[in-house]
Structure 1
């Protein structure tokens, strides 16, 4: 495949620019890619070449990081976001979406954002990357999958307080999460008949109603109905027995009910190589599973493993 993976710059004051250059060095002869951002924000020792069009990236990326320049209003000071750069960060995401939707690029791999910097500098109206990408794509339902070689897991509810989860967790939300996950595994991961394991909400999946009744009230019934419709589902299962090695061999992805139920196991199993994948978009989007790391930005010590895995996964999905 010659179409490149687009790497967005993310927050210029974070570790995004430096892990992009180090990820390129690891994948230069394996994955065509380009970096979309202001070349001034790359590390001083970065090996890069400015290109005019994504079609040039494949020929360049074996010897230098291809850069599709997008000028920003301010410089980048590691660890200190500049509000003048907020609009540039937002515009780069939109430009990356245009590139994949026109067919000039194969997929998007986004570097971490700093949400407060975007709100302070540009009155950014979205909770984060995923919601903005969904809006750009005109999609109302998307799913966040965390993926590594050890595990794929999807939280049904995401960034809300734990006390709000039971009310937010509705039959329609769980159904759409399962449907989007199954479709994404088929179309973007090449898994013809996806097997999904679904966690219960309560400890021990409610233990027959002794520890909560949602499993009896509607979760088990919904899963039974979807099995009748052809979905390969197990559950609701006790979350504390779903993630050991033998259990993970029985499914292609796990559906969790809330944020930590999903992220604790994958970060325990494969902390440095987890990848955030957005399913339900009309294009491929991956991202490293970490933040801007202002405390180490510019020091040359940031681990590029998650970014490297995110680029590689985007490429493999585009080839599936």
Structure 2
């Protein structure tokens, strides 16, 4: 399958569950392997727009990123060659490079399309599992967690080129609504036009889609629930290292933190290197609890609000 902090308990946001200074920076060198690329999935890609500030490369940035342009330098809508292939959002907030996926004319048409948000919501409804399509249930999940996740998503503004400074690692026991919260985050990002890929860790390790390297937000669900072999571990490390180096956001859910997550890897050095990529300054850590006293309600604009 394929938040300004307010009224949040300090234990909900922990900066140190991954902290250890003696873990190595990298794991063992990966063995040579064929390159696996899947077809693009349903995304709401961020396209280049004149009002978005940031530096632009005309050609050849793949030499620096180590990965080719996902659409071979062409607009994914009309198929015409792109004048600019890569861009930054605001370098002060999100200095990572992102591929431009459609031309200016197609992007201008999309911005004027009043039905775009509805269609993106329909995409979410088609790909979201039935279990997670229902509205947030305060009896099943923490309203504080929901508030934290949705406020993180609200920091994205495609037209103004704004994004959160860091990604998220959401950790907690099974049944603490981590996955449900991420599906609601996915819906918010799709509706706002933020390029997002949601994928379960086990599927990501089996076949890593090329857009996992490029998409502005990558959501990885249930990291550590699988026992990957050496090749899969190295593939995951390569992905996280590339996204960290280029400051592309990741949102990860897991039942494990720190040494417990490292122990889920066959190669301890690789597991330690993965955990280093999930620590500050790349990601904030959020603890998912079971239901609390908060209440999730629907505001006048139809968006979810949280009262603690």
TM-score (norm 2): 0.29
Which one scores higher on RCO, CA 8 angstroms, separation ≥ 6?
A: 2
TM-score (norm 1): 0.28
